[in-house]
Amino acid sequence: MTTPFLTLDGLTRRFGDHLAVDGVSLDLARGEILALLGPSGSGKTTTLRLLAGFETPDAGRVLVEGFEVTRLSPAARRFGMVFQHYALFPHLDVGENVAFGLESLGIKGEELKVRVAKALALVDLEGFERRRIAQLSGGQQQRVAVARALGPEPRVLLLDEPLSNLDPTLRERTRRELRDVIRRVGITTVLVTHEQDEAFDLGDRVAVLRDGRLEQVGTPDELYEAPRTAFVARFVGRASELHGRVREQTADGTRVEVQGCLWGIPSGTGVRSTFEPGDPVQVLLRPEALWLARPDAGLLAATVVERRFMGASALYLVRTDAGSLLDVDAPGWAAGPGDRVGLAPSRRSGGGIHLFPATPPV
């Protein structure tokens, strides 16, 4: 990475006894888009509000190009923000909303008009200046919010759940438009979302948060293929879970006993810890990592509970004889509900099976 443009350095924010954000550190390159992903309560919104300056951290700093802005007011940071419900001023028209931030900079008259028009053009809303906010569709409101935030040419763009307010049919299109605008402007961007699709689609990198802590930062591929924790593996993409016990670990791979079967997991992305023989482990399985066959000795015996046809393949929900429920991706003709089947690690993917130290029983 080149020299960081935006730095979050050990940001911490406490609400009473609750640590909402716990020592989050991140670096963003100029023009990079970072998605903060996490379930509700993970601290992603608070992190964004610390960045925006609506919250003051109990510890840690925010730096832009090496200069600290932690104590600066929201406006003085020159960060633009798009709010979850847009927070458009309902009593002002579209043009007045977009002009609001520009007027703060002392821009007026003809230049103001030009800048407002330019900002609206950026989001494909040319000529919308005199429309009332209430007359706009949800997608248009979202674009006005983006234009208003980008109007004063901020250094960083912050987006709080930018698509959550739109109905699903609009989301994909708006997402594409949003991505295009950000790319065209080339602005460094941090966005908050709880939707993995959104994070993967918009973010150059994704930061997964859990209970206020940063679990992992990486490109979408890295997160999917090499999750550093069981939480990331479960939260990013689909994964089923089994418990097993390590037999031996060699340079080539790890042999694990899972419900009476012995599986070899090749070294690489799937195994990031060293284990001693006998260690209990959590085995996280992507649906495509299992191979579904006729029942046979040496295979994990299971019964198909449900088959969901997905087009190119089908997603099977199977119950092992030991009672675990697993998702398995297999050709649509492979089996039907009620069929007895055998499961083994698939040979098509080297990855897709991840071993993590079992969390000790509470």
Partner 1 sequence: MSALLQAGRRRVGPGGVLGASVLLLLLAWLVVYPLVLVLLEGVRGSAGWTLEHVREFVARPTEWQALRGSLVISLATVLLAAVIGIPLAALLALFDFPGRRILSAIVALPAVLPPLVGVVAFLFLYGETGFVARAIQAVLGLEEPPWRLEGAAAILLVHAYSMYVYFYLLVRAALLSLDAAQLEAAASLGASRARTLRRVVLPALRPALAGATLLTFMTALASFSAPYVFGGGYRVMTTQIVATRLNGEEALAMVETVSLTLLALLALALFRDADRDPTRGGGKGTGPAARPVRNPLLRAALAAAGWGLAAVLLLPHLTLLVVSLVPVGTWTIEAVPPAWTLANYLTLVRDPVRFRPLLNSLGLAAAATAASLVVAVAAGALVVRARAPGRRGIELLLGLPWAVPGTVFAIALATAFSVHDPATGRWILVGTIWILPLAYLIRSLPLTSRATLAGFRRLDPSLDEAAASLGAGRWRTLTTVTLPLVRPSLVAGGTLAFVTALGDFVTSIVLYTYDTRPISLEILSSLRQADVGVAAAYGVVLMVLSALVFTAAADRQGADPT
- Whichever of 22 and 327 has its CB closer to partner 1, that residue is 22
Establish if 141 lies at the interface with partner 1 (CB under 8 A): no
- What is the three-state SS of 49-86? HHHHCCCCCCEEEEEECCEECCCCCCCCCCEEEEECCE
Give the one residue of 71, 85, 183, 308 binding partner 1; rule: CB under 8 A.
85
Give the one residue of 2, 73, 250, 359 binding partner 1; rule: CB under 8 A.
73
Who's near 256: CB < 8 A, 6+ residues apart?
244, 245, 246, 247, 262, 263, 264, 265, 281, 283, 355
Establish if 115 lies at the interface with partner 1 (CB under 8 A): no
CB atoms within 10 A of CB 45: 21
Establish if 72 lies at the interface with partner 1 (CB under 8 A): no
- Whichever of 40 and 250 has its CB closer to partner 1, that residue is 40
Residues 6-45 that bind partner 1 (CB under 8 A): 15, 20, 40-41, 43, 45
The structure tokens listed for 332 are: 């649509």
State the number of CA atoms in the 13 A half-sphere of 25 facing the CB. 5
Q: Which amino acid is at 190?
A: V
Establish if 193 lies at the interface with partner 1 (CB under 8 A): no
Establish if 108 lies at the interface with partner 1 (CB under 8 A): no
Using CB under 8 A as the binding criterion, the count of chain residues that bind partner 1 stands at: 36
* DSSP three-state, residue 284: strand
Give 308: exposed, middle or buried? Use CB within 10 Å, 0-12, 13-18, 19+: exposed
Give the one residue of 101, 162, 203, 237 binding partner 1; rule: CB under 8 A.
101
- Whichever of 15 and 176 has its CB closer to partner 1, that residue is 15
Q: How far apart are CA 203 and CA 189, in angstroms?
A: 9
CB atoms within 10 A of CB 100: 16
Question: What DSSP state is assigned to residue 42?
Answer: S
Give the one residue of 3, 10, 65, 89 binding partner 1; rule: CB under 8 A.
89
Give the one residue of 9, 22, 27, 160 binding partner 1; rule: CB under 8 A.
160
Candidate segments 79-87, 117-125, 261-269, 345-353, binder of partner 1 by CB under 8 A: 79-87
- Whichever of 46 and 193 has its CB closer to partner 1, that residue is 46
Establish if 100 lies at the interface with partner 1 (CB under 8 A): yes
Q: Nearest-CA neighbor of 353 among 274, 287, 279? A: 287
Give the one residue of 148, 286, 307, 354 binding partner 1; rule: CB under 8 A.
148
Q: Which residues bind partner 1 (CB under 8 A)?
A: 15, 20, 40-41, 43, 45-46, 49, 52-56, 73-75, 79-81, 83-85, 87-91, 100-101, 104-105, 134, 148-149, 152, 160
